[in-house]
Amino acid sequence: MEQSTFIQQASSEKNKAAPKSAALQEPRIVRYSLTFIALAFLAFFIVLPLLSIFITAFQKGADVYFAAITHPDALAAIKLTLTVVAIAVPLNALFGVMAAWALTKFNFKGKNLLLTIVDLPFAVSPVIAGLVFILLFGSQGLFGDWLFAHDIKIVFALPGIVLATIFVTLPFVARELIPLMQTQGTSEEEASISLGANGFKTFWYVTLPNIKWGLFYGLILCNARAIGEFGAVSVVSGHIRGMTNTMPLHIEILYNEYQFSAAFAVASLMSVMAIFTLVVKDIIAWKSKSS
């Protein structure tokens, strides 16, 4: 008797919940309208500009396209961009891991100050950051006389471009890892240390496997920003053809000289890099959810 009463109550509650669940679903017209608006927005602001880049790049034929991307100045810009990325991204990865480790695993004086420094590039304009490096390392800057006396060139050279890129991309790895490591807590590290492992082994065998997908995600974002950075690099580069022009700066020069096909040809290479970055990011996000 009691079992029958319980089944009836459960059935009654289920019947009451069903209309409530159905009531939470939006009408079909609303769902279709929102989907159409979202797709139209993406098509207008992302797909069409990308298509226009490739259409304009090949407008004068494949010969002009390949001549533009194999021009010595273009090759120098591509090489410089990849060199800067190869230096800045690993350094930011190292800093991001150390900063996230310190901020999430330890309590110390100046913790809030370190967190503020990590977020500083988000608040400062890249152009202002470039001007700061000019004021520090330029010929009339704070360290200008000392650098000139020792024949060290920072601005209008590779070191200045790397410094500017490191500054603007500094928060990405740390900001991906900090919330992740805060969620994970310190229990596993404490257990590892209590079993006799040192700090390095604890990090390598315990912490790093837990944060690897967040680290990869941060590296992808850092890499994308480093490739496309314009403002800070524009200030410190000096716009020297074949020497200090990265790909965005080379595109600007070609466009200003009305070499539209060449400009869009180089831009198409950056677009391919961006698309590849998005694909890798999605793969990493999928892997992190499935693991």
How do residues 148-196 score in pLDDT, each as one tens digit?
899 999 999 999 999 999 999 999 999 999 999 988 888 888 888 888 8
- Please determine, for residue 39, whether its predicted confidence score (pLDDT) is greater than 80: yes
pLDDT digits (tens, 9 = 90+) for 211-246: 888 899 899 989 999 999 999 999 999 888 889 999
Answer yes or no: are the C-beta atoms of 240 and 259 closer than 8 Å.
Answer: no
- Residue 150 DSSP SS3: coil
pLDDT in tens, 73-90: 999 999 999 999 999 999
CA–CA distance, 230 with 239 (Å, rounded to integer): 11
11 has pLDDT over 60 = no
Distance between CA atoms of residues 151 and 161, nearest Å: 18
Distance separating alpha carbons of residues 23 and 25, to the nearest angstrom: 5
Q: How far apart, in whole angstroms, are the C-alpha atoms of residue 142 and residue 123?
A: 24
Question: CB count, 10 Å around CB of 107?
Answer: 7
C-alpha angle 95-96-101 in degrees, rounded to nearest 5: 100
Q: How confident is the model at residue 99 (pLDDT cuts 50, 70, 90)?
A: very high
Stronger pLDDT, 8 or 289, i.e. the higher one: 289
What per-residue confidence (pLDDT) applies to 159?
A: 94
Give the pLDDT confidence score for residue 200 in this predicted structure: 82
In eight-state DSSP terms, residue 44 is I
Whether residue 21 has pLDDT greater than 70: no
Q: Give the per-residue pLDDT at 17.
A: 46
CA-wise closest residue to 158 among 231, 243, 270, 228: 243
How many CB atoms lie under 10 A from the CB of residue 35?
10
272 with 199: CB under 8 angstroms? no
In degrees, rounded to 5, the angle at the alpha carbon of residue 68 between the alpha carbons of residues 63 and 74 is: 150
Residues 67 and 61: their CA atoms lie apart, in Å, by: 10
Distance CA 227, CA 154 (A): 20
Give the separation between CA 280 and CA 221, rounded to whole angstroms.
10
Query: Contact 154/160 with Cβ under 8 angstroms?
Result: yes
| 230 token code pair | 């314009």
What pLDDT does residue 291 have? Answer: 65
Q: Which three-class secondary structure state does DSSP give residue 154?
A: coil
Q: What is the pLDDT of residue 12?
A: 52
| pLDDT computed for residue 198 by the predictor | 84
Q: What 8-state DSSP symbol labels residue 151?
A: T
C-beta separation of 88 from 173 below 8 A: no
* Predicted pLDDT at 2: 45
Query: Strands, DSSP E only, in 107-224?
Result: none
Given a contact cutoff of 8 angstroms between Cβ atoms, the answer to whether 96 and 173 are in contact is yes
SS3 content of the chain, % helix, strand, coil (to 5): 80, 0, 20
The per-residue pLDDT of the chain, averaged, comes to 86
- pTM for this model (two decimals): 0.82
In angstroms, the Cα distances linking 271 to 57, 180, 282 are 12, 30, 17
What is the amino acid identity at position 15?
Answer: N
Q: Give residue 227's pLDDT.
A: 92
